[in-house]
Amino acid sequence: MLWVLDQDGGRVRFGELQRRLPAITPKVLSHTLRQLERNGLVGRTHHPGVPPRVEYATTPLAGTLIPVFDALSDWTRAHLGEVLSAQARYDADESASASASASAHHLPKPSGGPPSGVPVSE
């Protein structure tokens, strides 16, 4: 969210944040903004009027995180291919394991004769 707030370098209204972060519910967005404000990372400005307006912006303290975001972004660009390959290998292994497990549970029961491991008396 800080990344989104800082992208334009200006103040952003709640509705605009909702449009930029459609996967976040209004309740979660509101709660997160309050927590970020509490931690000194987001400033909230209330403009009285009809209707009242509230704008959010990153603080100078949040600005100190920008190099961290940039480093994460650089790392992602450099290693995304490796991550996607690892995910594909993992998913293939999981799929093979699930298929093998399903096959083992659906083996036909042997017909006739004693169950495996039971001694046969002659």
> How far is residue 70's CA from residue 62's CA, in Å, rounded to a whole number?
13
Q: Is residue 62's pLDDT more than 50?
A: yes
* Helical (H) or strand (E) element with 58: strand 53-58
Residue 109's pLDDT is what? Answer: 55
Whole-structure pTM value: 0.64
> How far is residue 120's CA from residue 102's CA, in Å, rounded to a whole number?
30
